[in-house]
Amino acid sequence: MTANKIRTLDMVSDSSGMDDFTAIKKVKNSEDSDTSSDNVDEDGNKLTKMARAFKTIIECLGEDSGREGLESTPMRAAKALQFFTKGYCQTVESVVGEGIFNEDTESDMVVVRNIDIHSLCEHHMVPFSGKVHIAYIPNGKILGLSKLARIADVFSRRLQVQERLTRQIAQAIMDSISPKGVGVVLEATHMCMVMRGVEKQGASTVTSTVLGSFKDDKQTRAEFFNLINCTK
């Protein structure tokens, strides 16, 4: 009798414990759901504010923001600008993920050329686009090749100046895998020079950043520039 009672009490206790665990899990799931919902609401509020601002800009230009061709433009423009600057919502760690691998290398240079980049000039908020060439000499670790392009996107999808963008890409690679050296060259055309101001078609801007052995070793630096300039 006593044993049965004890067994029954244990079962009640276990059941109660399970109920507590389930309740805690439900609360956590509810909190996660609330956080996700809050993020969605915040994004929606930002888009709405941006759309109102675009509507005001359109009207200040002398246009009718309510006509058929422009009626939905404010929200479309807000969503486009949000995409153009999505780098603010990304980190190097998140885009690299598990794309770092151990690899024994000795003075081998990894070069990825002609990576497309698109950004917005922070001075006029008009586009500049071009190609970035990235090289590094591993020091026991390598990056998945696509991760180099993703790192470039993290920083290019923001309001930028080309000089800072070039250095940020190089420094991010240095911080991610501690290579012996990094070299980055970026060539771009700026619409602020083409569509306005001096209006010079065909002008391009080239910036470079060299770190580690690329900065210290003239031969390494020369090899890098030769590789990115070869035509084959």
pLDDT tens per residue across all 232 residues of the chain: 444 444 333 433 444 444 555 555 555 565 556 656 666 777 789 999 999 999 999 999 999 999 999 999 999 999 999 999 999 999 999 999 999 999 988 789 999 999 999 999 999 999 999 999 999 999 999 999 999 999 999 999 999 999 999 999 999 999 999 999 999 999 999 999 998 888 888 899 999 999 999 999 999 999 999 999 986 5
Domain that holds residue 182: 99-229
Q: Say if residues 68 and 96 touch (Cβ distance below 8 Å).
A: no
pLDDT of residue 37: 65
- Kindly list the catalytic residues: 121-124, 162, 190, 192
Residues 12, 112, single domain; the answer is no
- Report whether 182 contacts 211 (CB < 8 A): yes
Do 72 and 108 belong together in one domain? no
Contacts of 179 (CB under 8 A, 6+ apart): 136, 137, 138, 139, 141, 173, 212
7 and 79 in a common domain: yes
Q: Looking at the domain assignment, is residue 184 inside a domain? A: yes
According to DSSP H, which parts of the chain are helical?
2-60, 73-84, 92-96, 145-156, 162-177, 191-194, 213-216, 218-229
Question: Could you tell me the CA-to-CA distances from 78 to 43, 53, 81 in Å, in that order?
Answer: 11, 9, 5
Give the pTM. 0.81
Domain identity same for 34 and 120:
no
Residue 45 lies in a domain: yes
- Rounded Cα distance between 174 and 192, Å, is 31
CATH of the domain at 199: 3.30.1130.10
Of 178, 174, 81, 193, residue with least CA distance to 134: 174
